[in-house]
């Protein structure tokens, strides 16, 4: 009675589709206008990528229910239905190969789901995870919903805290551009070739497609990445995100009680990772003489909460060697980022 059905879109991927795409790739030529601005070239690139996806991997729809386990994704459900059709038609060899694919996908999903669970420390949590994987949710009562709290209210709240009403658009370039190229074709190819399976952003470009087409996409993406950094322009496709609100407290009652977990564009995350590793990390590890990051434990290599605790204990132990008493003042800024001006 409480089972709900949802229509989900997915792109079916088979070896035959990959073969047709790879046969077409050598004939593809992606031309970008050198005199056009960054946004125009990004629009051109995205139009080509989406046309290729729709041509070789068209979107399909399938029905999933609230009682399906978490590992039964739209792709898995489509494979299950195809396996059943092949079994009824007597094509057992093809059905067996699909069953192997389904088992591999479910095994990988279950492994990730149980990665941080240690049954020796907490067997109750471990068995709860196992039941979630094997049985799924028997029914959906809607008890997790909050009266009066809708997706639109959450969206307005996150948009408000992420927007500075006093923001002034900076000049296009505050320093002279030396013409240096930050990205080469081989650099972008390695970035795409090492992409892992990850969630897709609102630009609708999945990581597996960029990985598959890395040889042909590397050169044009290197040009648009360079143009974006040189002009300081972030394309519109990268300014939206899929937000999953996770509760900060056991019993949330309002919008601010949810932490926004954003899923950004795969291309944006790839570019950000390159900039952080190439420019930001060296600046933190070798700062200017007037700057000191010795007490910085977040957002840089080897920094963690464990390192912060070790440093704090070392400071306390050193001060207690010279003093009988010391005071520690601790400030909790858990709500600061909801109200403060980030700049």
SS (HEC) of 47-84: HHHHHHHHHHCCEEEEEEECCCCCCCCHHHHHHHHHHH
Residue 75 lies in a domain: no
Please tell me the predicted confidence (pLDDT) of residue 88.
92
| Euclidean distance between CA atoms 84 and 91, whole angstroms | 10
Residue 70 lies in a domain: no
Which residues make beta-bridge pairs with 5?
65
Residue 47 lies in a domain: no
| Euclidean distance between CA atoms 85 and 68, whole angstroms | 20
DSSP annotation of 276: I
- Domain hosting 301: range is 290-339
Q: Burial code of 220-249, b = ≥16 C-beta within 10 A, e = fewer?
A: bbbbbbbbbbbeeeebebbeebebebeeee
CB 192 within 8 A of CB 206: no
Q: In terms of DSSP bridges, do strands 242-247 and 59-65 run parallel, antiparallel, or are they unpaired?
A: unpaired
Mark out the alpha helices in the chain (DSSP H runs).
Answer: 15-24, 38-56, 74-88, 92-113, 123-134, 151-161, 185-193, 207-212, 214-231, 266-275, 281-285, 305-322, 336-339
Residue 306 lies in a domain: yes
Please tell me the predicted confidence (pLDDT) of residue 297.
84
Please tell me the predicted confidence (pLDDT) of residue 295.
80
**Domain tally, the chain:** 1
CB 4 within 8 A of CB 65: yes
Residue 323 lies in a domain: yes
Q: Tell me the pTM.
A: 0.77
Please tell me the predicted confidence (pLDDT) of residue 19.
94
Residue 34 lies in a domain: no
Closest among 184, 196, 203, 167 to 45, alpha carbons compared: 203
Residue 330 lies in a domain: yes
Low pLDDT (below 70) residues in the chain = 1, 132-145, 170, 172-179, 334-343
Please tell me the predicted confidence (pLDDT) of residue 142.
39
- Tokens 């492994």 correspond to 111
Please tell me the predicted confidence (pLDDT) of residue 56.
95
Please tell me the predicted confidence (pLDDT) of residue 220.
94
Residue 301 lies in a domain: yes
| Euclidean distance between CA atoms 327 and 320, whole angstroms | 10
| Euclidean distance between CA atoms 166 and 65, whole angstroms | 45
């Amino acid at each position: 009675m409480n089972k709900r059905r949802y229509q989900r879109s997915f792109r079916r991927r088979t070896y035959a589709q990959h073969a047709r795409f790879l046969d077409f790739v050598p004939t593809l030529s992606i031309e970008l206008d050198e005199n056009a601005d960054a946004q125009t070239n990004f629009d051109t690139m995205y139009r080509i990528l989406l046309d290729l996806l729709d041509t070789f991997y068209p979107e399909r729809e399938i029905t999933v229910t609230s009682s399906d386990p978490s590992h039964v994704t739209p792709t898995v459900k489509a494979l299950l239905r195809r396996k059943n059709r092949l079994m009824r038609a007597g094509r057992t060899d093809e059905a067996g190969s699909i069953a192997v694919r389904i088992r591999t996908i479910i095994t990988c999903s279950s492994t990730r789901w149980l990665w941080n669970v240690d049954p020796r420390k907490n067997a109750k949590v471990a068995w709860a995870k196992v039941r979630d994987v094997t049985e799924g949710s028997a029914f959906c009562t809607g008890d997790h919903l909050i009266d009066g709290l809708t997706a639109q209210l959450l969206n307005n709240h996150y948009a408000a805290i992420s927007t500075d009403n006093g923001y002034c658009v900076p000049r296009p370039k505050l320093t002279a551009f030396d013409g240096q190229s930050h990205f080469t074709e081989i650099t972008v190819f390695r970035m795409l070739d090492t992409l892992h399976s990850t969630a897709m952003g609102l630009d609708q470009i999945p990581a597996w497609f960029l990985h598959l087409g890395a040889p042909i996409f590397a050169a044009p993406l290197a040009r648009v990445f360079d143009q974006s950094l040189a002009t300081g322009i972030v394309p519109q496709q990268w300014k939206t995100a899929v937000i999953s609100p996770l509760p900060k407290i056991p019993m949330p009652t309002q919008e601010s009680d949810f932490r926004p977990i954003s899923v950004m564009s795969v291309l944006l995350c790839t570019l950000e990772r390159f900039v952080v590793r190439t420019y930001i990390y060296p600046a933190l590890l070798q700062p200017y003489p007037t700057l000191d990051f010795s007490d910085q434990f977040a957002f840089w290599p080897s920094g963690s909460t464990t390192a912060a605790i070790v440093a704090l204990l070392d400071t306390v132990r050193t001060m207690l060697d010279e003093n009988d008493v010391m005071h520690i003042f601790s400030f909790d800024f858990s709500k600061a980022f909801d109200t403060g001006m980030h700049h």
